[in-house]
């Protein structure tokens, strides 16, 4: 899947494009699908994962199946880090 960083609403100096790509490639990333529709009809997906350097990131993105556009990115909170660790432990 091709990632689109055009008009990114987050600072690409804080979150490098390669780190965001690593989250999409994280085999243990947790993909969440929202349970409600947006007014504009766009479906947003959420991704919780870690980079190769062990940096935890939360991403919000939309996709048409061929291209994904990251709408927002931020560091994981302590609770989200714990959630990721618990899910990872369940898989091992």
Dig out the tokens for 2 from the structure.
């091709």
Residue-wise pLDDT for 14-56, tens only, equals 888 889 999 999 999 999 887 667 677 677 899 999 999 999 9
Query: Domain range spanning residue 80?
Result: 2-91
Dig out the tokens for 12 from the structure.
């690409």
Dig out the tokens for 67 from the structure.
């291209």
pLDDT at 17: 86
Specify the residue for token string 């529709």: 37
**The total number of structural domains that make up the chain:** 1
Could you tell me the pTM of the whole model? 0.83
CA 58 to chain centre: 5
Q: Averaged over 85-90, what is the pLDDT?
A: 92
pLDDT at 46: 92
Nearest to 9 by CA among 56, 44, 52, 54: 44
pLDDT-based confidence at residue 78 (cuts at 50, 70, 90): very high
């Amino acid at each position: 899947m091709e990632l689109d960083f055009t008009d990114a609403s987050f600072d690409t100096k804080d979150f490098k494009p390669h780190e965001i790509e690593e989250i999409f490639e994280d085999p243990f990333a947790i993909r969440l699908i929202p349970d409600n529709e947006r007014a504009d009809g766009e479906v947003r997906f959420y991704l919780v994962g870690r980079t190769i350097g062990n940096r935890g990131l939360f991403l919000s993105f939309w996709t048409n199946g061929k291209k994904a556009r990251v709408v927002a990115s931020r560091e994981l909170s302590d609770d989200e880090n714990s959630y990721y660790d618990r899910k990872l432990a369940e898989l091992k």
